[in-house]
Structure 1
Amino acid sequence: MLSALLSSVIVAQAPASPAARAAETLGLGPVLDSVVHQGVTYAALARGGIAVLKADGAAPRLVRIVEGGRRFVRLVVMGQSLLAIEQREEAHAFSLATPEQPQPDSLASALGATRELTVVTQAPPSPQAPPPAAVPSSARVTVTAVKDGDVTLSGGALTGLGEGARVRVRTQDSREVVLKIIESREDTAIARLGRGENVRVGDTAVVTDAPATARLFFPEPGVPRLRYGFHARPFLALDAKTRLGNSARAGGLLLDAFVAWRPGDLPLVLSAQLDPVGFGLGTGLRHTPGSAYFAVAYSTDFLEVGIGAGALFGQKACSPELSFDPITYEPIEGKNVCSSNAGPSFQQVLRLGALDGFHVAWNSAILSRDNQFRFGSGRGEIQVPLTPSLSLFGAGGGSASGWNFGELGVRSFLKGTGGSGTTVISASLGIVSLSDGTGEALSGPSIAIGIERRP
């Protein structure tokens, strides 16, 4: 009560200042003192704390509130320091045995004489109802909504969540992220999730001075629980011909499809993938090369390495065997000899870097056939983030069974930021080649599109 009375007197005597008008506009209540330094205004609030204000545009803007809950009655800039004089409540006792001559007395004696402390004053009543007490900046708030990367918090400017402030959010999966406030109202605030960050409704948050955890190249989202999707590369074959050498209008499709699942909390990922499979049409010949595998991988934020088993499939390549007559030594037509680059394979999987950030990925297959091992297929990818929601990637590969491709494209978060509920869309330009082992390969430019979901 004593501090409220003293604050009322100070506010009543202080002339209206730009800082006071700015605080009134922002709903911060009365200002006890203010000072300006290098274009930044510091205002001591009657309800507690020092408001940091900017007036770059037509309307003032609250940057943050420091030392919420503590009252400062005087602010002075000294060099590169802000001296803040805090108001404190201290009680002193005086004996009124002789009313005309009050004498110092012990505080214990005075308080022991009565159970109720009454302060008598003739100060005029405040013209407005006293503002609600500000919640200290260390007060906890909760996440009330998450939509398209925007996080709505249950506290606003009154809890120290001014624009530009940062909050530490403790997620339900025991991870911590620090978010920056991009919009602040009196009782709500909105923060923006960074690449790979994920929070849920009900998560708790507290104001912090720690830097934001959003990372562009090396985000730490954790390994998604479930991912599945596809990437389709339709193409038109150039200068295509039939088996007899006639021209043909032909084309085809090279398709990736995958599903990856992380069971429990172990750093393991089980995946199955068509990597890829091709379909060629228009020449009367079969063009169906492809590969598929199942793998088990050790997977973390910045590394994935695993092994698996799969198969390469496609058509046989047949040609007549050159032979000679044993008597005349003239060439004669021999039997057809067919060879196939299809069969079981052993798979290797590797990723260096963050799944949603910068990374280099590679997988290859070793083909088992003809009592020997030989190289079966290989493909690689490099991804470079450009913005919090957009990445550039390049990929390519080929196989002994007859598929080859190269592409350059972009990948973007259509929904979410990398955690559960995320949808990723990708688009690319490139070239595709399919072969069935006989005749000429089908080759041409492709315009590709892909979608990945993380429920």
Structure 2
Amino acid sequence: MFLRLTLSIPLTTAIVATLLALPPAVAQEAPSPSDTGPSQPDSAESYEAAEEAAEVDTITSRARAEGCELVASLMLEQGPVLACSDQRVLIFGDGTREVRRASGPIDALLPAEDDVWVITRRQEASLLSGLPRPAGPATSPEEPALPRPDLPPSSSPDEALVATVVESQHGSVIVDMGGAQGLEAGQLLELYEIETIRLGDTSESTQRVRTLAIAPIDSLSENRAELSLGVNERVPAGALARPTDQERTTSRLAPPRLPGLARLSFTLRPFLALGTVGAGSLSEASAAYQFKGPWTAEILVDPLAVGFSRATNLLAVIGTAIVSYDTTPFQVGIGVGTTTINSTAYQSGSSDTGGFGAELGFAISQKVRLGALDGIHIQLVNNFFLYDGAFRYGGTAGGAQVPAGSIGKSSWIVARGGAGFAGHAFGEVGLKVLARGNGDRASIFFVPTVGLAQLRGTREVDCGSGPTLPSGEQATSGERTCYAEVSQGGPMIGFQIEWRP
């Protein structure tokens, strides 16, 4: 036991001395991320930040280049989609650019499966008294009801492609959409307005679409389209337009009557008097205004005729002011005025027109038109005058009009004629042409005609050599004044111009 212990003490001493001779240990710290290089998560974050910055730069530069006041944007795989404050939606792809127009102010763009939701804002106005009361108890302020989420608007083509009429004149309109929005030349667009309809005597109302016209695209650019309207179709600036599969609304047989429209017309019909040396003109003038209701006021001077020859000078005039109940399919009216009387049957021995030898009388006119004014129709005007305390038949003027078929889309064949105790008779045929516009304001019509004209009157003659008096007695020279009928007539040409200011 003692021997074993004696041997172990030197061994222990040697081990301790050996340990003490070793160099001291150096404490080592864990390597820092900067010593070993960037970690994988930090590298991904830096890449995503750089990519987002590049997308922002792309969107900002595209919006600036397009003049777009940006309200929302969305980056897709093929390129960015930008929403502008003017309701434009710009779609960029690989070298392509497409423009769409939203149906209202845009609030946001949300991704959808293979598409994009365009969230628009719609505004409505209601009277406070017309708002319905809730069926249940009112919600207390302490427990407000949760708002219902707004559903995305429909993405149907009719609502996605809605344009606005920015200009309307001379029978055509221009809308703020074009080839960039998918429109094509010859495509039909429905031009319409949204009307607010009151429901009964309450404050409740609803909205209704009123179609103004369906017209084709005549001219097309990238962001504009021009449409040609039919006869008497009126579309104001601010109306809406959208593609449609319906047929065009224009009608040549029965174009609609336009309210608030003035018409000024003058017809010149010169002629040469055959059998003598003379000439004359059997003219016509009128001014009319079509009110918003079914009423028309008109001043009509028909005929406005004068003739000069070696034998005598003649005058034939009927002027009346007429008020009519006027609609698209018919017109009926009555008027009063004055007329000349040129007939040996109604001579009182005095002249109200000086050297023309005609007397004047109180006149009443009846006017009727069956058919549309600018379509197919027939028209008659009957005249009566007051003579010797009784009304006498004074004459009739009439006309007919039919579309000219293959001659032109805005032309009509006309035939007119008339005769009466005012001292005139005529007949003519012609072609009515819409030279400018579509029948609405600023339109101009031309009507060239050919026909025959005659003016009749009376002149004093020597009773000894004159005709038998109306009483059947033979006139004795120097005892009374006698009258003989004279006339002037021959071929005539006519030209009418009608302006609708």
More helix by share: 2
For the pair 1:444 / 2:472, whether they are aligned, the reply is no
Equivalent residue for 2:64? none
Does 1:364 find its partner at 2:386?
no
The 2-side partners of 1:152 and 1:48 are apart by 18
Of 233, 237, 244, 1:197 maps to 233
- What code does the residue aligned with 1:260 have? A
| Match status 1:352 vs 2:398 | no
Over 3 Å counting, the alpha-carbon distance change for 1:30 and 1:279 in structure 2 is same
Mapped contact 1:194–1:417 kept (Cα < 8 A): yes
- Written as runs of structure 1 = structure 2, the 5 A alignment for 1:292-441 is 292-315=319-342, 317=344, 342-386=360-404, 387-437=408-458, 438-441=484-487
CA contact (8 A) 1:222 1:300 kept: no
Q: For 2:193 and 2:409, locate their aligned partners in 1 and report how far apart those are by CA, in whole Å.
A: 21
Q: Which amino acid aligns with 1:231?
A: T
Count the aligned residue pairs: 323
CA offset at residue 230 of structure 1? 0.7
CA RMSD of aligned residues (A): 3.8
Greater Cα offset, 192-201 or 164-173: 164-173
- 1:51-450 map, 5 Å: 136-138=157-159, 139-170=161-192, 176-223=212-259, 225-240=261-276, 249-263=277-291, 265-315=292-342, 317=344, 342-386=360-404, 387-437=408-458, 438-450=484-496
2:286 counterpart letter in structure 1 = F
Give the whole-Å Cα distance in 1 for the aligned partners of 2:323 and 2:350. Answer: 38
In 1, Cα distance between equivalents of 2:165 and 2:232: 18
- 1:408 counterpart letter in structure 2: V
CA contact (8 A) 1:316 1:341 kept: no
Whole-Å separation in 2 of the counterparts to 1:368 and 1:172: 53
C-alpha distance in structure 2 between counterparts of 1:453 and 1:319, whole Å:
38
Counterpart amino acid of residue 373 in structure 1: F
Pair 1:186–1:367, CA change in 2 (3 A): same
Change (3 A) 1:319 1:398: closer
Distance 1:224 1:382, change over 3 A: farther
Shift of 1:182: 2.5
| Counterpart contact for 1:135–1:159, Cα < 8 Å | no
State the match for 1:38 in structure 2.
none
**In 2, are the aligned partners of 1:142 and 1:204 still within 8 Å (CA)?**
yes
Q: 1:289 to 1:169 in 2, by over 3 A?
A: same
The alignment partner of 2:269 has SS state of: strand
Instruction: Quickly say closer, same or farther: Cα 1:314–1:358, change in 2 above 3 A.
Output: same
Contact 2:257 2:327 in 1 (8 A): no
Closer, same or farther in 2 for the Cα pair 1:340/1:229, shift >3 Å? closer
Deviation string, structure 1 residues 426-454 (Cα, Å, up to 9, x no partner): 11001110011344310111111111111
1:186 alignment partner AA: E
Cα distance change on mapping 1:316 and 1:388 into 2, 3 Å = same
Shift of 1:2: 11
SS in 1 for 2:250: coil
SS of residue matched to 1:393: strand
Q: Deviations over 1:293-321 (max 9, x none)?
A: 1111001122111111122214463899x
Unmatched 5+ stretches in structure 2? 1-72, 80-90, 101-112, 117-154, 196-209, 352-356, 459-483
Whole-angstrom distance in 1 between the partners of 2:194 and 2:74? 44
Percent identity for Structure 1 against Structure 2: 27
Shift of 1:47: 7.2
Shift of 1:276: 1.1
The answer on whether the counterparts of 1:198 and 1:221 sit within 8 Å (CA) in structure 2 is no
Distance 1:190 1:431, change over 3 A: same
Give the whole-Å Cα distance in 2 for the aligned partners of 1:267 and 1:454: 18
Counterparts of 2:243 and 2:346 in 1: how far apart (Å)?
75
Asked whether the 8 Å contact 1:160–1:207 carries over to 2, the reply is no
CA distance in 1, matches of 2:245, 2:490: 55
Question: SS where residue 363 of structure 1 aligns?
Answer: strand
SS of structure 1 residue aligned to 2:313: coil
Change (3 A) 1:151 1:273: same
1:188-214 C-alpha deviation (Å, 9 max, x unpaired): 112111112233333322222221111
Give the TM-score normalised by the residue count of structure 2. Answer: 0.57
